Amino acid sequence: MSRLSKTSFNIFLIFLLSGMYFQTQSAIPEKNQPSGLSVNFLTHAGQVFRNGYPVNTPLYQAVGRKENFQFAEIAQKQPFFGWIVNSDQNNTIQVGYQILVSSSLENIRKNIGDCWDSGKIASDQSVNVIYSGKALEPNSVYFWKVKTWDNHGVESVFSTVSQFKTAATLVEYATARYPLQKQGIYPVSIKSLSDSSFFIDFGKAAFGTIRLTLLGKTNSDTVTIHLGEAQKDGRINRTPAGTIRYSAHPLVLMSGWNTYTLAISQDKRNTGPQAILLPEYIGEVTPFRYCEIENYSEPLNKNQIVQETVFYPFDETESYFASSDTVLNQVWDLCKYSIKATSFCGTYVDGDRERIPYEADAYINQLGHYGVAREYSMARHSEEYLINHPTWPTEWILQSVLMAWNDYLYTGNKESLQHFYSDLKAKALLPLADESGLISTKTGKITPEVLESIHFKGTLKDIVDWPQTGILGLGKNEPGETDGFVFKDVNTVVNAYHYQAVSQLVLIAKVLNQESDETQFAAQALKIKTAFNEKLLDKKRGAYIDGIGTDHASLHANMFPLTFGLVPEKSIGKVSSFVQSRGMACSVYGSQFLMDAVYDGNNADYGLELLSSISERSWYNMIRVGSTISLEAWDNKYKPNQDWNHAWGAAPANIIPRKLMGIEPLEPGFQKIRIKPQPSSLEHAEIKCPTIRGDVLVSFKNKLQESFHLVLTIPANSTADVYIPFWTKSQKVTMNGNVVKYRQEGNFAVIEGVGSGNSKFEVAR
């Protein structure tokens, strides 16, 4: 069995054991049958849960029963549908579809669309198809299916039937969401510490509680249950640093065999007014990997102890990655799992200490979620939540625009852009600009009207990176994570973000046909870029200074302009060299933008060096210190109050698929895809990357400067531009065994317009 097939088989076993059962979706579609049906991004809108666990009760039956069921509800009057086009032929494009929506299971089985029968629509649209039938009724279950026609003359059979329920009140626009899910995990090991105490390891930390089946001899036997994230000398570390969690729970046993669930006490800090609270059917949770049971003298086996975990529904089979670098593989596993584990609130939060959404966390979480799962609802909900509940850093206000554009790029759905367009324009902070176009929070331009427009009550402050010197346990002699950044009234990092936000408003305005705004934003973006390079670029040194009034140049003042496309072509080399000279002189948050800058500058050697580093400031260090979820900081000494469950430390979950393997949308909704692997010295790698149109599979074998073999699977109804190494004009490039034309772009040979299906490319000197 090949490595790839072993990986797939193991993931499939996890899928089966997880209890994830979806009532109306066929796991393996018939030939050419549409699959992956979604309504408002929810691919399992018909799944019913009870107290967080998936059950086998069909949605149309569950709505009439008086049980503690949970299910998604669609509150939008005209929801949008999507599906994956399937074909056994290459170069497949959908040319038509037919949707049936019915009010009863009987009608849908008879192919009667009593609510909507679209008829055959001549269109290649397979995502974001707006419902156009009879008005939907509140509190009602609907059934739907779709069939397609393709450019090969193939008419598919209808898809399997999918269900969804409408909400009690229907509105013009609303983002749909799943309920939270629970999953039981058994221990990977149990160790006897004495005749009456045990040490249990669940293998990975997760948010949840614990369920135990124990024997009591009397009604007064008392055991103590210890839960923790860290261990020390073979026991749970009961005095961990920072916000690494440990808790002890006395449990009085009843006589006989009984099953107990620990009720976790609330923490005042992470259940405060700004925190995201957990629903009643979930209850309070704590993050833990280890459990100790004290004062229990009976034998104990793995079936008696369950780690009852909580997460937003997550399908492990939707992505995988493996390579010839074992450190890189471990980093991927850490970061992919971190996206699942930290989804426990159903909204992106900053970890367990506060459980508050922050734009910076959500931006990295969003991209990571896209990289590991075909799931878009949590990212959209979190982004929209933050529009109305912003946080204090200036740059993070600007990130709302970046998140909104990411949402559109990955989904192709513009409804959120339309609904929040006025808010997004305000988030660009244009009123703070001076005559040159640069903005500042220090020049008296922040008025009550500006704050009201961005829904913020408080004081905006520039942040650059976090933590900073002299706070959160860092003394004045400890540098923090800003690389010595000198804060001035006109801040380079803030203005790099401002430029990116305005540039993306140009694109948003174009999508929404706001021609006047598009022209205005384009002129403003050019103005900002001109002033930025005139006032902040030290051309002699070839580096950007931190702000007007200082000659200090930090990593941050240079990596953000590089990431956001501000650097003039002739200066890119020097700025890139300066960035590399500073190393990982940023936080785990800043590393997202450093890695983007490195790979966008085609510096694959340095990118791989950082991703696979085993230094103290590396993702591998998170594994080495004992965590199975990404940390809030590189190590405790860089943030003494850090927690061990921060998705903003999981940048490789998106950097590996987006940059190292090079899979990104060139056109919204992955209608066109860029495949641009940057392998450096990696001998081989393979990835399955989910998209809204289906899976992209990329694998390569690489002999540096000698040969490069690339195998691709592109989903039907998509095309791709494929980038492979360009070493010399005499090299031979073939596609499926035939010599193929390409254009040169720097160190890449680009084959444009590659169709769907399976393709093999080879480069030989």
Q: Which CATH superfamily is domain 668-764 in?
A: Maltose phosphorylase, domain 3 (2.60.420.10)
Does an H or E element contain 231, and which?
Answer: strand 231-232
What average pLDDT does this structure show over 177-204?
A: 98
Structural contact between residues 105 and 46, judged by C-beta atoms closer than 8 angstroms: no
Write out the two tokens for 687: 């990835």
> What is the CATH code of the structural domain delimited by 183-311?
2.60.120.260
What average pLDDT does this structure show over 294-309?
A: 97
Structural contact between residues 88 and 31, judged by C-beta atoms closer than 8 angstroms: yes
HEC per residue, 190-220: EEEEECCEEEEEEEEEEEEEEEEEEEECCCC
What average pLDDT does this structure show over 745-758?
A: 97
Question: Is residue 7 very low, low, confident or very high in pLDDT (cuts 50, 70, 90)?
Answer: very low
Quick: pLDDT tens for 691-713.
999 999 999 999 988 899 999 99
pTM score of the predicted model: 0.95
What average pLDDT does this structure show over 181-193?
A: 98
Instruction: Check whether 13 has a pLDDT greater than 60.
Output: no
Q: How far apart are CA 123 and CA 130, in angstroms?
A: 13
What is the average pLDDT value for the chain, to the nearest integer? 95
Structurally, what CATH architecture does the domain formed by 22-171 represent?
Sandwich (2.60)
Q: How far apart are CA 436 and CA 432, in angstroms?
A: 11
The vertex-413 CA angle with 412 and 416, nearest 5°, equals: 140
Output the pLDDT for position 4: 42
Quick: pLDDT tens for 105-147.
999 999 999 999 999 999 999 999 999 999 999 999 999 999 9
Instruction: Check whether 604 has a pLDDT greater than 80.
Output: yes
**Terminal-residue alpha carbon distance, the chain:** 32
Question: Is residue 16 very low, low, confident or very high in pLDDT (cuts 50, 70, 90)?
Answer: very low
Q: Which residue has the higher pLDDT, 260 or 705?
A: 260
What average pLDDT does this structure show over 744-755?
A: 96
What average pLDDT does this structure show over 446-461?
A: 97
Class of domain 394-582: mainly alpha
Domains 22-171 and 668-764 share a fold: no
Look-up of token digits 């003494």: 640
Burial 501-531 (b: 16+ CB within 10 A, else e): bbbbbbbbbeeeebeebbebbbebbebbbeb
Distance of CA 312 to CAs 52, 177, 179, 226, 347, Å?
A: 10, 9, 7, 26, 9
Output the pLDDT for position 469: 85
Alpha helices in 470-587 (DSSP H): 492-511, 515-536, 555-563, 572-581
Instruction: Check whether 508 has a pLDDT greater than 70.
Output: yes
DSSP secondary structure code for residue 618 in this structure: S
How is 438-497 classified by DSSP, letter by letter? Answer: -B-SSSS---HHHHHHTT--S--B--SSSS-TTSTT--TTS-TTSTT----SSBHHHHHH
Question: Is residue 24 very low, low, confident or very high in pLDDT (cuts 50, 70, 90)?
Answer: very low
Question: Is residue 27 very low, low, confident or very high in pLDDT (cuts 50, 70, 90)?
Answer: very low
Quick: pLDDT tens for 43-102.
999 999 999 999 999 999 999 899 999 999 999 999 999 999 999 999 999 999 999 999
Instruction: Check whether 547 has a pLDDT greater than 80.
Output: yes
- Three-state DSSP class for residue 531: helix
Q: Provide the percentage of residues in the chain whose pLDDT is more than 70.
A: 96
Question: Is residue 8 very low, low, confident or very high in pLDDT (cuts 50, 70, 90)?
Answer: very low
Output the pLDDT for position 5: 41
Nearest to 34 by CA among 162, 158, 163, 161: 158
Q: Tell me the domain boundaries of the chain.
A: 22-171, 183-311, 326-389+586-660, 394-582, 668-764
Q: Rounded to the nearest 5°, which phi and psi values hold at 25?
A: -105, 125
Nearest to 320 by CA among 305, 335, 303: 335
Quick: pLDDT tens for 625-683.
999 999 999 999 999 999 999 999 999 999 999 999 999 999 999 999 999 999 999 99
Output the pLDDT for position 11: 39
